[in-house]
Amino acid sequence: MSSHAAAAYPAIKPGLSKDVLAEALIARFGLVRDARDAWDLTLLAPRERLIEVVTALRDDAAWQFDTLIDLAGIDYLSYPGHDGPRFGVIYLFKSTVFNHRVKIKILLEEDDVAVPTLTGLYKIADWMEREVFDQIGVTFTGHPNPKRLLNHHEFVGHPLRKDYPCQKRQKLSMNDPLIDQMEARLASFGYTVLDRGEAQIAAGITVKGEGSVK
């Protein structure tokens, strides 16, 4: 590799081990290590401290977790040996400076499935949070556009919950042109939408007596 390339792409610094990271984060925030994760480092955090913890993970010079790799919702309904809150949200962070990783997990009771949005800290959280809301039903307070992402806008329920009837079909009666998102995107490039078009009513998907889907 040339000296110019080496300067453009500095070598990744040695990261902290899982045990050292765990010790530091537990000492600073009083987090609890998740014993179910036998391979990686997962720490349980209280919801009310999520923003504080994640901000420190990102900004502390010793950690520099500059990348939110993924976040996922979990439904523990009927999970073997689980007797805690039904839902969880798990965040996977990575430092591209040190190459170390950590997962933060928030547990949520069934009647209170809301956590603060991370969109103010990681832009990538936008669509990740929308997917978790859509599929699992966790809401992210403060999210700038909390709309469904994979299922249509008239969909009722959350298909990755363990008690959702997996064979259930849901009809869409009117399309969502998604003009709000497209207009905001175009505006960021200096464009103005002149014609927003019209919503279209869907045709029937079945014919009475024939039993076939059109």
Tell me the CA distances in angstroms from 86 to 3, 51, 192, one per residue in order. Answer: 53, 22, 45
* Domain region containing 123: 3-170
Distance CA 155, CA 172 (A): 8
Helix-strand-coil split of the chain, %, nearest 5: 25, 20, 55
Kindly state whether residues 9 and 98 are assigned to the same domain: yes
Strands (E), the chain: 32-33, 42-44, 67-75, 87-94, 101-108, 114-116, 139-141
Supply the CATH number for residue 119's domain: 3.30.460.80
**Of 136, 154, 170, the domain-final residue:** 170
* Ordered per-residue pLDDT tens for the chain, 214 residues: 555 555 566 777 888 999 999 999 999 999 999 998 989 999 999 999 999 999 999 999 999 999 999 999 999 999 998 999 999 999 999 999 999 999 999 999 999 999 999 999 999 999 999 999 999 999 999 999 998 988 888 888 899 999 988 888 888 887 776 677 778 888 889 988 777 766 666 665 555 565 544 4
| pTM, entire model | 0.82
